[in-house]
Amino acid sequence: MIADAIVLGAGIIGVSTALQLARRGKSVVLVDRRGPGEETSYGNAGLIQREGVVPYGFPQQFGMIFRYALNNRIDAHYHWRAIPRVTSFLAKYWWNSNLSRHQMIARAYAPLIEHSISTHNELIEEAGAQDLIVKQGWTEVFRTSAKRDGELKEAFRLREEYGVSFRELTPVDIAEQEPSLSRDFVGGLKWEDPWSVRDPYALTMAYLRLFEKLGGRFLRGDAKRLSQTASGWRIVAGEGIVDAKDVVVALGPWSDTVTKPLGYRFLVGVKRGYHMHYGTEGGAKLNGWTMDAERGYFLAPMKQGIRLTTGAEFALRDAPKTPVQLDRAEDVARTVFPLGQRLDSDPWMGARPCTPDMMPVIGKAPRHKGLWFGFGHAHHGLTLGPVTGQVLAEAIVGETPLIDISAYRPERFGA
């Protein structure tokens, strides 16, 4: 089979990239060892985070670092055995999270976030996936006035600098918005710009169907079987061989299976996360996406039930599941919302690929013709899928990208 481009990885980033190329008239083959959207893209909190212009940083206060070191929290957990392997990543992540560096990174990161809603909207409308989308923002609720005041101060700064919209919530506002939520909270913050997704997997599949409608093909195959040819790139997939001029590596935390053999060394860490779906008791209803800010877990009203998601687990990518954060979160969540029985037979786990400067790797490989990268989106894979796909597709076909992507170039890691 001859194609214009091969896209490796069928998560939201890879599907979006393949779709954006197909929308520009290119013949594209999308390749993954599993079905589309079955890895990390399956289990997130379902937010298109237009407000998320500041990426999640590493704590800078030593008191907070000490509390995390106790390893008993919901928002972060780590494997002792993984620490020697991830020390270099964590050290650079911590350094990039200092105030001046973090603010500089946010300014470079913001253009991607600013186009997250508009680029999703184009694909949602073309794919006929409007029924999956809720345009009501999401809410943080606070247990203490100190946390509330600190987050509101930051929200005002973000509104002034980046134009994001929010609304302060009183306890009465929270009770009106979420009658089934307990009265444990002193206030809240409603981020008004973001959209929510009732089923992130279903949205990925809707984009895939649009991709196939435009002539694209999905094949099962192992990215390790990629090889360079005199005219481009070749992979054994499905029941045959695919040749193409260009190849995009969008394999998330598994991107190193291709980049390392080609001589590229990216320092990419993994933040693993868990979720579980629940029923409700006593006719309770969760109306919107809600985060218990101090405890660090999320409740989301998905099609499958109430999805409870955890924070970050620092572990080796392929280590066995250790859903202790989920158990901790469930214990707390049951005190503030009447969760019913677990609906899944086993906790879901996904692995978020994270760079130490908190920005994805997007752009052309410096030493190989026709090789492109699109990975490392950390907590914002769903948010940034379509805009990443668009700027990559524009660069590949020779158009001027929607935004300047030089800040995300692979060379910044010495690649």
Q: Is residue 118 part of a domain?
A: no
> Is 348 in the same domain as 289?
yes
Same domain, 212 and 239: yes
In a domain, 379, yes or no: yes
Of 314, 329, 354, which residue sits at a domain end? 354
Q: Which of 59-63, 223-227, 295-299, 370-374 has the lowest mean pLDDT?
A: 59-63
Residues 373 and 333 in one domain: no
CATH number of the structural domain spanning residue 239: 3.50.50.60
Q: Decide if 112 is inside a domain.
A: no
Q: In this structure, are 180 and 283 located in the same domain?
A: yes
- Residue 238 pLDDT level (bands cut at 50, 70, 90): confident
Residue 58 CA from chain centroid, whole number: 17
Task: Indicate whether 69 belongs to any domain.
Answer: yes
Res 415 pLDDT > 90: no
Domain stops at, among 318, 333, 354: 354
What is the rounded CA–CA span in Å between residue 212 and residue 198? Answer: 23
Same domain (yes/no): 214, 155: no
Lowest average pLDDT, out of 55-64, 96-105, 353-362, goes to 55-64
How many structural domains does the chain have? Answer: 2
Instruction: Examine the domain organization and report whether 146 and 190 are in the same domain.
Output: yes
- Whether 312 and 325 share a structural domain: yes
- Please indicate, yes or no, if residue 71 is contained in any of the structural domains: yes
Residue 394 has pLDDT above 70, yes or no: yes
Whether residue 335 is predicted with pLDDT greater than 80 in this model: the reply is yes
List the domain range (segments joined by +) for residue 345: 56-83+133-195+269-354
Q: Among the three residues 309, 338, 354, which one is the final residue of a domain in this structure? A: 354
C-alpha to C-alpha distance for 223 and 232, rounded to whole angstroms: 15
Other beta carbons within 10 angstroms of residue 359's beta carbon come to: 22
- This model's pTM is above 0.85: yes
Residue 221 and residue 258 share a domain: yes
- CATH code of residue 148: 3.30.9.10
Closest CA to 156 of 146, 147, 167: 167
Question: What angle do the packed helices 381-397 and 99-114 form, to 10 degrees?
Answer: 70
Q: Is it the case that residue 299 has pLDDT exceeding 80? A: yes
User: Rounded to an integer, what distance in angstroms lies between the CA atom of residue 39 and that of residue 22?
Assistant: 23
Is residue 122 one of the residues assigned to a domain? no
pLDDT tens digits, one per residue of 154-196: 999 999 999 999 999 999 999 999 999 999 999 999 999 999 9
In this structure, are 287 and 336 located in the same domain? yes
- Give the Cα separation of 23 and 63 in Å (integer): 50
Give CA separation, 19 vs 113, 263, 386, 388, in Å: 19, 28, 9, 11
Same domain, 292 and 389: no
Q: Which 3 state secondary structure label does DSSP give 69?
A: helix
pLDDT above 90 coverage of the chain, percent: 96
Helix (H) or strand (E) holding 19: helix 12-23
81-137 tens-digit pLDDT: 999 999 999 999 999 999 999 999 999 999 999 999 999 999 999 999 999 999 999
- Other beta carbons within 10 angstroms of residue 19's beta carbon come to 30
User: Is residue 107 situated within a structural domain?
Assistant: no
**320 plus 348 within the same structural domain:** yes
> Does residue 246 lie within any of the structural domains?
yes
Whether residue 71 is found in the same domain as residue 160: yes
